[in-house]
């Protein structure tokens, strides 16, 4: 569960209030909305005497926002039999509308980057801060060093390549394989050319990344710390963890040690499968003028744990969103909310999808 401070919200964050056609509350986007849609589908089946062509397992887990040790990881280790026969799964972060500058509607569906939470440690000789400035290697806390910057990129990765080619075809700004394979190809510039404003999902899925999130150092304002410890949230594309680690070594240099606090593999969601075709067909049946494109979501989900059982996970929580709706910005944010009509659309899409897969 992601916490919420009630005083920061326009509505009580755990009320599930519906105001002006929008469902407000912590988890409305991530991912109680998907939970509600799945439950609505199975309830409709029960009332109408319908059912899927194959068994469908609904699994609601805890601890996904941390290590999953008390949720999906525990289930996989201790109750794998509950998922016997399961070969594919759908879950959060995919299948929502992305609007382009030219007015096209895209629905990204796919896998996810790997997780690499790290701890960085720098040691130095403590001393009084007003003393003579020290050399950089003798300070545990110091400013950014431009010489240590390095790209955390994966522009030539197969998942990225497939996504760019599909985006080109869907948006009317086509790319040839030769263009994408050219080392000089500017993916950022290309994306900026057709997006209304470059959404978060366009940048993050196309490269490795590392964001500093925690810093612990010092005990007094006028004393230089002898030890500084930082934490970094790293994310890696499939098959690019070695490149990520080499880049971290380059960025940290000889004065900083780093190690993993928590690590999970990246997942590729194959697009040449009957399941992906069923996802595409269900979405296009309810939004005929749109396009479904593969991508690699920026964050991580419980699909990583279930992949150990041989289950292929797809980010697919269908929502039709209006132009300008900052869906990605609402994840874990203040005033998290989702249009009720988007949930109705998603429930109908899920009904068609789950009724058709066999």
Question: Is the model's pLDDT at 39 over the cut of 60?
Answer: yes
Render pLDDT for 73-101 as a digit per residue (tens, 0 to 9). Answer: 999 999 999 999 999 999 988 999 988 87
Q: How confident is the model at residue 2 (pLDDT cuts 50, 70, 90)?
A: confident
Tokens of 235: 């994310």
Domains of the chain, first to last? 6-113+266-356 (3.40.630.10)
pLDDT digits (tens, 9 = 90+) for 121-153: 998 777 655 554 555 555 566 655 544 555 555
Percent of the chain with pLDDT over 70: 87
Element (H or E) spanning 246, and its range?
helix 241-252
Question: In this predicted structure, what is the pLDDT of residue 55?
Answer: 92
Q: How does DSSP assign 162-182, residue by residue?
A: HHHHHHHHHHT----HHHHHS
Q: How far is CA 65 from CA 26, 148, 266, 317, in A?
A: 13, 31, 16, 17
CA atoms in the 13 A half-sphere facing the CB of 1: 7
Residue 203 pLDDT: 54
Residues 6+ apart with CB under 8 A from 184: none
Residues composing the chain: 358
* pLDDT reading at 197 higher than 90: no
Name the residue with tokens 């394989």: 177
Structure tokens at 224: 């230089």
In the predicted model, what is the mean pLDDT of the chain? 86
Quote the CA–CA distance of 156 and 164 in Å, as a whole number.
10
pLDDT value of residue 200: 54
């Amino acid at each position: 569960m992601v916490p919420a401070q009630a005083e920061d919200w326009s509505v009580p964050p755990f009320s599930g209030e519906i105001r002006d056609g929008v469902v407000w509350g912590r988890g409305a986007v991530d991912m109680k909305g998907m939970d509600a849609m799945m439950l609505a589908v199975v309830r409709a089946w029960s009332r109408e005497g319908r059912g899927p062509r194959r068994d469908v397992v609904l699994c609601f887990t805890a601890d996904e926002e941390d290590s999953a040790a008390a949720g999906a990881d525990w289930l996989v280790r201790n109750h794998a039999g509950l998922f016997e026969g399961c070969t594919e799964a759908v879950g959060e972060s995919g299948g929502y509308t992305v609007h382009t500058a030219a007015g096209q509607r895209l629905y990204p569906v796919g896998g996810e980057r790997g997780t690499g939470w790290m701890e960085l440690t720098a040691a130095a000789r403590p001393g009084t801060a007003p003393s003579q400035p020290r050399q950089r290697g003798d300070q545990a806390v110091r400013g950014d060093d431009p010489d240590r910057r390095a790209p955390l990129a994966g522009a030539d990765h197969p998942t990225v390549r497939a996504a760019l080619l599909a985006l080109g075809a869907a948006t009317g700004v086509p790319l040839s394989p030769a263009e994408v394979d050219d080392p000089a190809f500017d993916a950022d510039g290309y994306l900026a050319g057709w997006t209304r404003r470059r959404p978060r999902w366009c940048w993050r899925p196309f490269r490795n990344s590392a964001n500093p999130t925690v810093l612990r150092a010092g005990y007094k304002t006028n004393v230089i710390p002898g030890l500084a410890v930082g934490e970094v949230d790293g994310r890696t594309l499939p098959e690019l963890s070695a490149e990520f680690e080499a880049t971290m070594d380059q960025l940290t240099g000889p004065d900083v040690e780093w190690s993993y606090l928590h690590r999970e593999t990246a997942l590729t969601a194959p697009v040449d499968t009957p399941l992906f075709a069923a996802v595409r067909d269900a979405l296009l049946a309810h939004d005929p003028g749109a396009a479904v494109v593969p991508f690699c979501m920026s964050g991580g989900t419980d699909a990583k744990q279930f992949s150990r059982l041989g289950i292929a996970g797809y980010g697919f929580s269908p929502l039709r969103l209006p132009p300008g709706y900052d869906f990605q910005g609402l994840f874990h944010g203040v005033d998290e909310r989702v249009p009720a009509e988007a949930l109705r659309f998603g429930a109908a899409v899920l009904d068609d999808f789950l009724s058709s897969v066999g």
